[in-house]
Structure formats: C-alpha cells, structure tokens
Amino acid sequence: MGKDRDKWPIFLIRLGQAMTVGLAYYSVVEIPGLTSSFVAIFVALLPFDLIVAMPSISLGLRHWRQFIRVLLPRITGTAFVLMMGLALGLAFGLGVRFGFPASLAGVLLVGLAYTLALRIPGNISSYVAMVGGLAVFERLLTIPLVSGGLFDQMAPVVLTIAVGTFSALLAGWAVGLVMGLITRFLLPRGYKTLRSFAYELPLEMQPFREVLKMETDLALAEVNVAMDCPLLDRPLRELRLREAYRTNVLAIHREGKDIVVPGGEELIKPGDLILLLGPVGSISQAANLLKGSAECG
C-alpha cells in the first residue's frame, strides 16, 4: 500500500524535473554568448531537488535563511568554477595564438578544468568549467587577426561569453526555484531524488526519522527543568542522554523562543521546557534527570 501511495508523488516529481529541464533550456537558448544550455539545466535541478526534499514548506524568514544557507555554497562554488574555466580558456587560447600547439592546449585545458573543479567546495558539476573553458578557447582560435591589438579583439568575445553564461546560471536558479516550490506544494511530504547534489542538508532541515535513526518503540516527552536541579548551567553533552538512555533532545523552549536540534554546547537553564525523544523504557529516566528528582544526584 505504501508503494501505491507514492506512485503519484513520484510521477509528479518526474514531471516537475522534466518541466524544469525544458524551461531551463528554453529560457536561455537565445542568450548571446551562451557556452551551453546545459549550464542552466545543471543549476536548475539543484534548487528543484533541494526544495522537493524539504520536510515542509514555510514562508517564515527562519526557514528561508536555512534554505539560503544550503544553497549559497553551491551558487558560489558553481560561479567560481565557471570563472576558473573561462580563465583557463583565455590562457590556453592566448597560448595557441602565440605558438603553443593547439591539440596539446585543448587536452591540458579540459584536464585542468576538470581536475581543479573537483577541488572547489560546493561545485555541482565539473562540466560547467570544461564547457566554459572550451567555449572561450575555441572562439579565440577562430578570431581573424586584423589590424589592431590581439587583446582588443579578444576582450569583447570573452566578455560576451562570460555575461551570457552567468545570465544562464541566474536563469537556471530562478527556474529551479519556481518549479521546486510548485512541485513541493503539491506533494504530501518531502522526497529525496536520486543522485542529487542538494544533500546533505543541515540537521534541522533533514527528515526527522533519518536524523535520529528512529525505532518503532519511541516516545516523546516534554520536561520542565526544575529550579533546583543540579544539572543547571551544564552543557547537554555532559548529560550523555543519548549514550546512557538513547534519548535525544529535539528542542528547548526558553523565554518564548524555540531552540531546534540544540547543539551539545547548549546549557540547561531553570524553567526550560525540553522536548525529548527516546525509547519507551528509558525516556522516563532521562526526564527524571531534568526534573531534578532523586536520579539527578
């Protein structure tokens, strides 16, 4: 029955992916200087996959800060890889015009673009660097030498390619964002797509069961920290709730604010309302520690 229920969401995701690829292609195909429409397609699928995988969609500022925190390294990494590819294409293109063997230059360009791109954090595809570099390289080899400086003739070509390719990147992000939102609003829950560059997500954005490796005999408990509990002002990591009781602290409500998936350095304060998740047989022991019962001491 579970597989049957997932058939239509999976169909919807595949339809959304197809629409994203098609719209990304047709939105950039007429851009002057574009190295390849695949640049837009690659980057469009990233925000699409990321949004589709979200456990829930919210219009709150905090939610979108988390989304940007995940997406921004991919955006900057991809943009840097593209600039690196364009620079390599320019360098090897100039080298050929000054006598360097064209075939050897092409081999080195592709190899370096691919190898260096793999080292860039957040890069979603080395293809972006190779395509950008080869586009500049091949265009520079075909420029006829006329009166005037070689650099003056090359500058407009390189600038057109750079502007066109960056425009395609922005168009791809926009298409992926819009199509991802439309698709996710129609889905009952988040779905991870295969072989996506969108993962791994921060803990607070990952599906609950995957973060905590949930079992079937788990229980939730809300605990008010006692004013006289000896655990006050101690960090969560010292309590060792997970090691001793297989219990996780999901959130802390303090002075009208929620601290979701608190880190181990978070201190226990009097009056905290703590949400625990753990096995039925041991979560009460973890709760007693925080309540300030006899087990505290």
Is 80 exceeded by the pLDDT of residue 24? Answer: yes
Q: What pLDDT is attached to residue 39?
A: 74
Strands 273-279 and 257-260: unpaired
- Tens digits of per-residue pLDDT, 83-99? 888 889 888 988 888 88
Cα(125)–Cα(76) distance, rounded to whole angstroms? Answer: 13
Q: What is the pLDDT of residue 2?
A: 46
Q: Omega into 200 within 30° of 0, i.e. cis?
A: yes
Q: Which domains does the chain have, with CATH numbers?
A: 2-186 (no CATH), 207-296 (3.30.70.1450)
Q: Is 0.75 surpassed by the pTM of this model?
A: no
Task: Look up residue 146 and give its two tokens.
Answer: 């006329």
Q: For residue 23, what pLDDT band results from cuts at 50, 70 and 90?
A: very high
Distance CA 74, CA 280 (A): 41
Share of the chain above pLDDT 70, in %: 77
Dihedral sign for Cα 168, 47, 178, 4, please.
positive
